[in-house]
Amino acid sequence: MINLLSKEMKAELAAAKRNVRLRQYTLILLLLGVVVTASYGVGYFLLNSQGNAYRADAANYKPEREKYKDVIEQATTYNKNLSIAKSIMSNEFIFSDLLTTIAKTLPKNSVLSGINLHTIDLAKPIELTINAKSYPDADNVKKAFQASPYFKDTKLRSITKMPEGTYPFTTALITTLDQAAFAKAQQEGTL
């Protein structure tokens, strides 16, 4: 095919084609911008109408809520007290578990006859008075508490013999509760 068009005419045709394509792109971008703006506008309108409806409902129920203001305050106070009780219960120390652990730690032929606990600070040493049937049984008390994972720094204060009774040997023992191990066992339920 013979090309009868001049170079200027070819350049003008190419420019015209580009202009048509650019106009199409511009129109598409403009339409896209209108669609995005319309979407945001519709969304804003819907949210605004829902907010107005909520405010109208709240205004309608305000007199009714005033009737129950005392109940709401009581419920709020109860909820606060409940959360305080929950925090106390989660940190509580159950002394019956401690006494059971001491009883399980005691060796055969020995009984707990006295205990001195300080509820303010359980990290302080606990003084125990334990009666035993024989001197070796009284000596085994210290060994049993040293072997227990729940007690540490166990010291034998004294072993004395009483003149009569089923358990004539009295052992005075000082030990410290290992609070971390005891609390872990308490939470796991392995005491």
pLDDT tier at 20, thresholds 50, 70, 90: very high
- Listed residues 92, 112, 144: the one ending a domain: 92
For 78, the 3-state DSSP assignment is: helix
Query: Are 154 and 183 within one domain?
Result: yes
pTM above 0.75, yes or no: no
pLDDT tens digit sequence for 57-70: 888 888 887 888 88
Query: Are 88 and 109 within one domain?
Result: no
Query: Are 58 and 88 within one domain?
Result: yes
Query: Are 105 and 181 within one domain?
Result: yes
Query: Are 18 and 52 within one domain?
Result: yes
Confidence check: pLDDT of 47 > 90:
yes
- Listed residues 37, 58, 92: the one ending a domain: 92
- Listed residues 92, 113, 147: the one ending a domain: 92
Which region among 12-16, 19-23, 28-32 has the lowest average model confidence (pLDDT)? 12-16
Average pLDDT, the chain: 86
CA 182 to chain centre: 20
Predicted confidence at residue 89, as pLDDT, reads 67
If one counts the domains in the chain, the total is: 2
Between CA 191 and CA 165 the distance in angstroms is 32
Burial 73-86, CB ≥16 within 10 A → b, else e: eeeeeeeeeeeeee
Percent of the chain with pLDDT over 70: 93
Query: Are 170 and 126 within one domain?
Result: yes
Confidence check: pLDDT of 76 > 80:
yes
Predicted confidence at residue 136, as pLDDT, reads 87
CATH number at residue 136: 3.30.1360.100
Query: Are 80 and 103 within one domain?
Result: no
What domain range includes position 99? 95-188
